[in-house]
């Protein structure tokens, strides 16, 4: 299943008629399912949905791994990633209490089970990345 992002809600795209016609026994398998068996993936720990790949790890402010506390004192260990799939975004962007100077953030959830997975950070110049909570991920 392929997901797309809209600012107000999550939307899911249906397979095209061509994909349905070409699929044996009516089973629709897209390219991401075929590649899933060949590549390593990082999954949602709760429901095992594919979220990203180890190759999407990036360094922000000199490191991939960061430890931060929110205003309530809850500590999070996050990893920074470029592209993700299977994630949705909740709430409006906020500049308050951002862990990365110059970036606003939005909450990131798994589109399959709605587990809070981290935050999407975006700068005014259009740069962006995902900060995913490491203990909510499964590395396969």
Domain map of the chain by residue range? 41-139
Residues lower than pLDDT 70 in the chain: 1-38
User: Which residues have C-beta within 8 Å of that of residue 18, sequence separation ≥ 6?
Assistant: none
What is the reported pLDDT for 2? 38
What is the reported pLDDT for 140? 86
What is the reported pLDDT for 44? 98
80, 130 in Cβ contact below 8 A?
A: yes
Is the domain 41-139 a CATH 2.170.150.20 member? yes
What is the reported pLDDT for 38? 57
Global pTM value: 0.72
Look up residue 72 and give its two tokens: 């309530």
**DSSP 3-state assignment of 26?**
helix
Return the DSSP state at 60.
B
What is the reported pLDDT for 17? 44
What is the reported pLDDT for 114? 97
What is the reported pLDDT for 39? 73
What is the reported pLDDT for 121? 97
What is the reported pLDDT for 41? 95
């Amino acid at each position: 299943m392929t997901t797309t992002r809209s600012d107000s809600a999550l939307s899911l795209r249906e397979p095209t008629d061509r994909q349905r016609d070409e699929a044996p026994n009516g089973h629709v398998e897209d390219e991401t399912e075929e590649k899933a068996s060949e590549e390593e993936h990082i999954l949602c720990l709760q429901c095992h949905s594919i979220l990203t790949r180890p190759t999407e790890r990036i360094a922000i402010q000199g490191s991939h791994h960061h430890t931060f506390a929110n205003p309530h004192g809850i500590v999070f260990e996050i990893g920074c990633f470029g592209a993700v799939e299977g994630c949705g975004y909740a709430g409006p962007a906020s500049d308050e209490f951002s862990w990365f100077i110059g970036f606003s953030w939005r909450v990131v959830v798994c589109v399959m089970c709605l587990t809070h997975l981290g935050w999407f950070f975006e700068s005014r110049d259009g740069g962006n990345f995902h900060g995913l909570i490491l203990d909510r991920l499964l590395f396969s």
